[in-house]
Amino acid sequence: MGNLKTHTIEDLWQSEGLVKLRQDLRSGQKPSECKICWDEEAAGVKSYRQDYLNGRIEEKPIDYSTDHPTAPQTLDLKLSNLCNLRCRICGPVASSLWLKESLKQKLNSNLETNQEYYLSNKITDHGSNRETFIKWLPHLSHVEMFGGEPLLSRENREIEEIIITQGFASKISLLYNTNITTFRNDMVERWKLFKKVTLSLSLDDIDGRIEYERSPAKWDVIRRNVLKYSKIQCSKIKVVLFCSVSNQNVWYLPEYLEWVVLNAPNLEVSFNFVHSAPEFCITNLPRKIKIALRRKFESWTFDCSPHYQNDILRQRLLNVLDFAESRSDIPEVWKKFKESMAHFDEIRGQNFALTFPEFYKLISAREGSNVDRIEFEVGR
């Protein structure tokens, strides 16, 4: 598709890759670029594509017949990888802290030469981009900004400012995924100028487990910020929880849902399945662990919620199981998961076995090793 480092946004919008994608979608093909959605839909899980379309009405007519539309209606911008966390499921392309660690540990030789590529994509640095963006504004109805951590990004702030000063804020909705380490009242006030702002809080787990998974995050900070976000009183600001389900946290999803119901019952939870790093994808859990997971989820009783909610919460868990069971596991990939956990435990001074004791015991017992050991036997 190209990159903002080397191309203008107009070049990218009319690029060969995007033209081909439009043609493929129009002719009913399932392009591989969209594989994540096709896979989830095949497993009966609601995909990002379906979620995006849900209830959305085209506010401005779209001419689907042309390969070269004048302007986009929706933009997904990833302008910088500036991030204060290095979540295990993520990597150097999305996080500058990950990049720093990878360079220090010499984890990937390509990064040495490409590091500049990842850091910042301030689109207004390219002469014509600002004009193009302003020209597109009357057509735009929705902008999604990711990161890095999007709430730390000065590039995203600049996009907000352009939209506001050009007088289009009340016509455009925004979506941010945030790691919840930041809450600022001035941001909340600015978001009130927009048509709608959805804040998708990346809460994958609770307590010490989230500190392990999203290091160096502090649970106390995240917990307090979730509560602050959940209390925003503005009909234009929608706050939801976004839980990325992976091999690290899947065992603890019932406990996670209980925390949400008890502490932030007004926040909807949506599950995002980790695909791009296959060793974290729950389809690669060994079959015996999938069986144990089903037993745990099916027998869980949600003491925290009134009876009528039990069925809804259980259904959410069963959907996760459906996805896990939609494909057979690949043993080498599961081995890679354990190696990755052990490797980063050593680098970061963390300990999987002590952080996830019940799950670790299950893994060890299932694989016939000594359950009292506190480290994975790497390479087994």
Ligand X SMILES: C[S@@+](CC[C@H](N)C(=O)[O-])C[C@H]1O[C@@H](n2cnc3c(N)ncnc32)[C@H](O)[C@@H]1O
Smallest distance from the beta carbon of 336 to ligand X, in angstroms?
A: 14
Residue whose beta carbon is closest to ligand X? 202
Smallest distance from ligand SF4 to CB 94, Å: 4
**Which residue of 89, 197, 217, 260 would you call a contact of ligand X, by CB under 6 A?**
89
Task: With beta carbons less than 8 A apart as the criterion, state whether 229 and 201 touch.
Answer: yes
Tokens describing residue 225: 């910020």
Q: If binding means CB under 6 A, how many residues of this protein chain bind ligand X?
A: 21
N- to C-terminal Cα separation, the chain: 39
Q: Is 177 helix (H, G, I), strand (E, B) or coil?
A: strand
Residue 149 interacting with ligand X (CB under 6 A)? yes
- Is 155 among the residues that bind ligand SF4 (CB under 6 A)? no
Helix (H, G, I), strand (E, B) or coil at 270: strand
Q: Which is nearer to ligand X, 94 or 292 (CB)?
A: 94
Question: How many CA atoms lie less than 13 Å away from 58 in the CB half-sphere?
Answer: 7
Q: What six digits make up the tokens of 69?
A: 């539309």
Alpha-carbon distances, residue 154 vs 56, 74, 128, 150 (angstroms): 29, 21, 19, 9
Among 4, 9, 75, 94, binds ligand SF4 (CB under 6 A): 94
Please list every residue from 262 through 301 that binds ligand X, using CB under 6 A: 272, 274-277
Angle of helix 219-230 relative to helix 253-263, nearest 10 degrees?
50
Work out whether 242 is an interface residue with ligand X (CB under 6 A).
Answer: yes
Shortest CA distance to 198 belongs to which of 171, 169, 236?
236
DSSP assigned state of 66: -
Q: List the single partner that 80 binds among ligand X, ligand SF4, none, CB under 5 to 8 Å by kind.
A: none
Which helix H or strand E contains 246, and what residues bound it? none
Looking at the Cβ atoms of 272 and 364, the one nearer to ligand X is: 272
Tokens matching residue 168:
């289009």
**Closest by CA position to 166, among listed 143, 198, 148, 200:** 143
Residues 295-354 that bind ligand X (CB under 6 A): none
Q: Judged by CB under 6 A, which of 178, 247, 248, 364 binds ligand X?
A: 178
- Pairwise CA distance, residues 367 & 33, whole Å: 36
Q: Alpha-carbon torsion 260, 239, 242, 25, what sign?
A: positive
CB 101, min distance to ligand SF4, A = 11
Output DSSP code: residue 170: G
Q: Whose Cβ is closer to ligand SF4: residue 141's or residue 244's? A: 244
95 or 129: CB nearest ligand SF4: 95
Contact between 263 and 290 under an 8 Å Cβ cutoff? The reply is no
Please tell me the count of residues contacting ligand SF4 according to CB under 6 A. Answer: 13
Give the nearer residue to ligand SF4 in terms of CB position, either 156 or 364: 156
Report residue 351: phi and psi, to 5°: -145, 105
Considering only 78, 144, 148, 363, the residue that binds ligand SF4 (CB under 6 A) is 148
Give the footprint of ligand SF4 on residues 206-225 (CB under 6 A).
214
Partner from ligand SF4, ligand X, none contacting 86, C-beta within 5 to 8 A by type: ligand SF4
Least separation in angstroms between residue 93's CB and ligand X is: 9
> Whole-number minimum distance, CB 95 to ligand SF4, in Å?
4
Binding partner of residue 212 among ligand X, ligand SF4, none, CB under 5 to 8 Å per kind?
Answer: none
**Residue of 9, 37, 75, 83 interacting with ligand SF4 (CB under 6 A):** 83
Determine if 179 is a binding residue for ligand SF4 (CB under 6 A). Answer: yes
Length of the chain: 380
Nearest C-alpha neighbor of 89 from the set 236, 250, 310, 234: 250
The residues that touch ligand X, with contacts defined as CB under 6 A, are: 83, 87, 89-90, 94, 146-150, 177-179, 202, 242, 244, 272, 274-277
The residues that touch ligand SF4, with contacts defined as CB under 6 A, are: 83, 85-87, 90, 94-95, 98, 147-149, 179, 214
